[in-house]
Amino acid sequence: MHPSVWREFWVIVTIVAGGLLLGLILGRPFLGAAAGLILYIGANLRQLHLLHRWLLNRRRGEEVPEAEGLWGDVFKEIRKLVRQSGQREDRLTGMIERFQSAAAVMPDAVVIMAQHGEIEWANSAARRLLGIHFPRDAGMRLSNLLRDPDFTRYYQGGDYSEPFEMPSPSNLDVTLQVQVIPFGASQKLILARDVTRVVQLEQMRRTFVANASHELRTPLTVLSGYLETLHGMEAELPESLRQHFATMHEQATRMQRLVNDLLTLSRLETAPRTREEPVDVPALLAGLREQAELLSAGNHAITLEAQPDLSLLGSRDELHSAFSNLVNNAVRHTAKGGAIRLRWVADREGAKFSVEDTGEGIAPEHIPHLTERFYRVDTARSRASGGTGLGLSIVKHVLLRHDAELRIASELGQGSVFTCVFPGSRVIRAEIPARATPA
């Protein structure tokens, strides 16, 4: 037992013994003992009353009462707890104040949304960028202040893995990148930053590439035309120049391919989505297979398996460009005698076009980079075979515009599978007049 409890025990024994002794002297021993006990209970009730009063009034800053003995110990412990919780509160308040003063001067807008979707706090940048004034707008719903319908859809959709770009409601020339971060019990932190400069630079880059490619096209066509003519007059050329002209012709053709690919890429990046139409993919693939046969010149076994009633909503030209890039790659990167299998099928995920080859394969470290512009595993070989390194970039952009995804599986020395996965929303199950699918 704790010494204080022991002491209290001896206090009770002493009081009762004292009462008993006094009662003995007066001839009423039990009455004396009872009086002693009543005195003890009374003293305890007083301390209990003091504690109760303190508990009721502690918010007004009343001090914990003082006492002796066991009650004194209890009050001392309560005093310690009060002091500790005060210190903790001070620390937390300090932290919140420091956080708020840091967030308040941040150049990005910060808005804290409470559990039920109302504004709890916002910094001063939120006024400039989002038009949210704090404390005036505290308790308001966000949809009453940010009325961009696309943003409302994004905010209510609940998928915040990608940030959202929109014009600032207070200045339409400013582009904002908004990020929503859920935290705590369904609270949300909204961050908005001014990305106008980045968007402008990106726009400038796109325009520059588009203009440069466009400007290069005409002089190149002229040069190529002359070189073509000279190529036709090979017999009349002196022997020493023949090889030079052949190289010039080859390089000019390569440059034309590069410029055309760059133009295609800029168009894919900048042009609004073209009017979408149902594309008869099996027919498109039958044509591509024939082209592949020509390119392969009988060196590969090329097969096509296509679900005849499976069409796709999209742009025919863009899909043709993407699919032909994948098919040409398979032919160019598969050695003589290899097999190339084209498949167009539907499954639970949607519709899939895959090109499988038994070619050289790609080492795993290269796979994540293949869709970057000008990325080539073996630069010298790709150049020699006429590759520009833009093909898979084009594929990626076309697929992006069709809400589709490119999956690459490959094993070095074994072969590769490039699969385009289109969402079910783009699939059209149309009965197309019976056509023999080449196998």
Ligand X SMILES: Nc1ncnc2c1ncn2[C@@H]1O[C@H](COP(=O)(O)OP(=O)(O)OP(=O)(O)O)[C@@H](O)[C@H]1O
Interaction site with ligand X (CB under 6 A)? 261, 325, 329-330, 333, 357, 359-360, 362, 370, 375-378, 382, 387-392, 416
Minimal distance in Å, beta carbon 293 to ligand X? 17
314 contacts 438 by C-beta, under 8 angstroms? no
Residue 316 has, within 13 A of its CA and on its CB side, a CA count of 12
Minimal distance in Å, beta carbon 385 to ligand X? 7
Closest CA to 160 of 190, 193, 140, 130: 190
Quick one: which H or E segment has residue 409?
A: strand 405-411
Calpha distance 407→357 (Å, rounded): 14
Minimal distance in Å, beta carbon 228 to ligand X? 21
Which residue minimizes CB distance to ligand X?
391
Calpha distance 345→307 (Å, rounded): 6
Q: Is residue 391 close enough to count as binding Mg ion by CB under 5 A?
A: yes
Minimal distance in Å, beta carbon 437 to Mg ion? 26
Per DSSP, 117 falls in state S
The residue to which tokens 């080449």 are assigned: 438
Q: Which does 113 bind (CB under 5 to 8 A by kind): Mg ion, ligand X, none?
A: none
Residue 50, helix vs strand vs coil: helix
Query: Do you know the residue count of the chain?
Result: 439
Strands 339-347 vs 301-306: parallel, antiparallel or unpaired: parallel
Calpha distance 263→72 (Å, rounded): 87
Minimal distance in Å, beta carbon 219 to ligand X? 22
Which residue minimizes CB distance to Mg ion?
391
Q: Which does 358 bind (CB under 5 to 8 A by kind): Mg ion, ligand X, none?
A: none
Nearer to Mg ion, 44 or 256 (CB): 256
Which span sits near Mg ion by CB under 5 A: 9-17, 193-201, 299-307, 387-395? 387-395
Q: Is residue 334 close enough to count as binding Mg ion by CB under 5 A?
A: no
Site mask for Mg ion (CB under 5 A), range 290-329, x = bound: ---------------------------------------x
Calpha distance 353→114 (Å, rounded): 46
Other CB atoms within a 10 A radius of the CB of residue 142 amount to 22
Q: Is residue 389 close enough to count as binding Mg ion by CB under 5 A?
A: no
Structure tokens at 137: 């707008």
83 contacts 166 by C-beta, under 8 angstroms? no
Nearer to ligand X, 168 or 416 (CB): 416
Nearer to ligand X, 397 or 402 (CB): 397
Nearer to Mg ion, 266 or 388 (CB): 388
Minimal distance in Å, beta carbon 346 to ligand X? 24
Nearer to ligand X, 143 or 419 (CB): 419
119 contacts 137 by C-beta, under 8 angstroms? yes
Nearer to Mg ion, 175 or 328 (CB): 328
Q: Which residues bind Mg ion (CB under 5 A)?
A: 329, 391
